[in-house]
């Protein structure tokens, strides 16, 4: 397969704050490539550089063989980006918006197929883009608009943030329809569930650095047995003692609580240490580590 997006050693800072620190990755033709990480990780800055909306400080970017900043006209009709909080016009009507948007392009997609994917009728007058018969939000129309121009690449930046589960899954279905039409997709998200469902490969990002890329299955294999332990200590103690335990990948404070991530033996090690220190773990809660473990894995790799 050919490489559609090629990012090498990308760096971007705002004043003294480094938003993107030496990031490299490639996206292959026809795949859904995900960038996963928490808010403030630098994900949107990468997208803005890819779109040519923001200058980079260092590094190289090619999208469809063009530099998006110096040759933006070369990719404008081949790339469609839907950034966070992007919205269709409040006055747009679904039955009118898709054919109108398609008319802007020389070789548009079949807007009727996209209409079917939206699951909305095209009766007299249509329906408002932001008020479908079943309450579906603009995000699904945004995903359909991204495919209307028949682009080679579509970028979705946290398109489903803030949606309830039903609306997220409906939007995921539409994104898969877009990919099935031959569009390569770059998906930016904070949610593991979304990345796992949609992506062929996922790059993990935290604090401006992207250090681990693999398939969802192989990433999950690395941390699937991890634990996340949260408790309120009955007395102050040195948290560094927890960090030095074998199998512990991270120790953090969240208000009055301590949060520890680690392997399957983490709970026994933590409770044994606390017992030796005569500290009671109040409001103890244990669950699977999920994204916390991924971010701990990133931090561990960055430190090595």
DSSP per residue over 230-295, as a string? EEEESS---THHHHTSTTEEEEEEETTEEEEEE-TTHHHHHHHHHHHHT--EEEEEEEE-HHHHHH
Q: Phi first, then psi: give them for residue 16, nearest 5 degrees.
A: -90, 5
How many CB atoms within 10 Å of residue 1? 8
CA end-to-end span of the chain, whole Å?
Answer: 32
- Report which secondary-structure segment, H or E, holds 96: helix 94-102
Nearest Cα residue to 147 out of 125, 124, 176, 187 = 176
- Segment 275-297, tens digit of pLDDT: 999 999 998 888 655 555 555 55
Dihedral, CA of residue 171, residue 104, residue 45 and residue 214, to nearest 10: 50
List of domains in the chain: 3-221 (3.40.50.300), 227-288 (3.30.70)
- Segment 131-144, tens digit of pLDDT: 444 444 455 666 66
Give the span between the Cα atoms of 156 and 168, in whole angstroms: 13
Q: Once rounded to an integer, what is the mean pLDDT over residues 170-177?
A: 82
Q: Once rounded to an integer, what is the mean pLDDT over residues 99-108?
A: 52
Nearest Cα residue to 180 out of 66, 68, 30 = 30
Distance of alpha carbon 215 from its chain centroid, rounded? 14
pLDDT of residue 181: 76
Global pTM value: 0.63
Would you state the structure tokens that stand for residue 187, as one six-digit string? 């998906």
How many CB atoms within 10 Å of residue 40? 11
pLDDT of residue 124: 36
Nearest Cα residue to 81 out of 33, 10, 160, 153 = 153
Q: Are 116 and 65 in contact (CB under 8 A)?
A: no
């Amino acid at each position: 397969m050919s490489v559609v997006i090629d990012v090498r050693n990308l760096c971007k800072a705002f004043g003294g704050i480094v938003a993107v620190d030496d990031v490299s990755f490639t996206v292959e033709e026809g795949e859904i490539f995900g960038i996963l990480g928490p808010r403030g990780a630098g994900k949107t800055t990468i997208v803005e550089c890819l779109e040519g909306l923001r200058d980079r400080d260092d590094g190289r970017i090619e999208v469809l063989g063009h530099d998006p900043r110096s040759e933006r006209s070369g990719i404008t009709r081949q790339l469609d980006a839907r950034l966070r909080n992007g919205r269709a016009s409040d006055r747009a009507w679904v039955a009118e918006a898709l054919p109108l948007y398609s008319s802007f392009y020389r070789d548009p997609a079949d807007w009727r197929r996209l209409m079917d994917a939206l699951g909305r009728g095209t009766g007299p007058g249509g329906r408002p883009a932001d008020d479908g018969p079943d309450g579906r939000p603009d995000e699904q129309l945004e995903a359909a608009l991204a495919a209307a121009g028949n682009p080679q690449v579509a970028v979705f930046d946290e398109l489903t943030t803030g949606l309830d589960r039903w609306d997220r899954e409906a939007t995921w279905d539409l994104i898969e329809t877009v990919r099935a039409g031959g569009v390569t997709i770059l998906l930016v998200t904070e949610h593991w569930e979304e990345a796992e469902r949609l992506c062929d490969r996922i790059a993990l990002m935290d604090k401006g650095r992207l250090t681990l890329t693999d398939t969802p299955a192989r990433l999950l294999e690395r941390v699937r047995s991890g634990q996340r332990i949260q408790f309120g200590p009955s007395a102050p103690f040195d948290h560094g003692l927890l960090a030095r335990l074998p199998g512990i990948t991270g120790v953090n404070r969240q208000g009055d609580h301590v949060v520890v991530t680690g392997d399957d033996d983490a709970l026994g090690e933590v409770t044994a240490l606390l017992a030796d220190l005569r500290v009671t773990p109040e409001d103890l809660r244990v669950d699977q580590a999920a994204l916390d473990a991924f971010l701990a894995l990133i931090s561990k790799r960055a430190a090595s």
